[in-house]
């Protein structure tokens, strides 16, 4: 058994004690190699329960948050999922093991390119990705059974995402200003009504509109991203 295997087992055991009881979620967390999605500089910390930088001011979420969000979605094998904020592709890889298809949107094109390489290396074929404004969702593919947002809305989910969620569907999104964010679950009970539940305090980058432009990146950002 390698050091990484030992760390992986320790992490999965920790997730169990922290309240992750869905065996399909735990299996996905164990089988998807988080170290593949982490820049080489931080690879020795890949199996620790901590968020890590992935370039362009973005992070890979800590495993407990990933597992909590995934478990809250109550994903079925035939579900179609929309993810807002592809990042390095790790959350998409977890989702892909649990559902029929993942549609994922990232506003940072250099980050999306790296994520797609990771997913291709792992031969994950049921993820479709675009670089676009995630706040607008993906109307051409709506409705979705589940929606997950990995950046924090200021007060509530964008209306476009609410509109693109199927009745009976679940949306999980961080909400609130930096320092006072909460992970919130919305279950769409009818076209106009939701059941809402707070899950845990979190810290995410803000949900922003539009696609990031090349001029937004310093040369050092792109070098760091390349690893």
Residues with catalytic function: 61
Measured distance CA(189)–CA(164) in Å, rounded: 14
Helix (H, G, I), strand (E, B) or coil at 186: strand
Measured distance CA(2)–CA(163) in Å, rounded: 47
Contact between 73 and 184 (Cβ < 8 Å): no
The sign of the CA dihedral 37, 39, 42, 44 is positive
Measured distance CA(177)–CA(39) in Å, rounded: 28
């Amino acid at each position: 058994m390698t050091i990484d295997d030992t760390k992986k087992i320790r992490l999965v055991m920790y997730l169990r004690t922290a309240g992750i009881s869905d065996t399909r979620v735990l299996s996905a967390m164990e089988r998807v190699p988080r170290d593949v999605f982490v820049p080489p500089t931080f690879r020795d910390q890949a199996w620790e329960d901590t968020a890590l930088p992935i370039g362009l001011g973005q992070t890979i979420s800590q495993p407990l948050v990933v597992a909590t969000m995934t478990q809250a979605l109550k994903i079925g094998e035939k579900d179609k999922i929309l993810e807002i904020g592809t990042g390095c592709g790790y959350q998409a890889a977890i989702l892909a093991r649990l559902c029929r298809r993942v549609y994922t949107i990232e506003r940072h094109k250099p980050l999306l390119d790296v994520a797609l390489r990771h997913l291709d290396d792992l031969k994950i074929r049921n993820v479709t990705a675009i670089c676009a404004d995630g706040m607008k969702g993906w109307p051409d593919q709506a409705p979705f059974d589940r929606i997950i947002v990995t950046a924090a809305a200021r007060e509530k989910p964008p209306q476009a995402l609410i509109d693109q969620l199927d009745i009976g569907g679940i949306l999980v999104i961080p909400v609130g200003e930096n320092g006072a964010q909460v992970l919130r679950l919305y279950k769409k009970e009818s076209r106009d009504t939701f059941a809402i539940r707070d899950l845990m305090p979190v810290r995410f980058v803000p949900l922003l509109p539009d696609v990031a432009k090349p001029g937004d990146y310093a040369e050092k950002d792109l070098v760091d991203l390349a690893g």
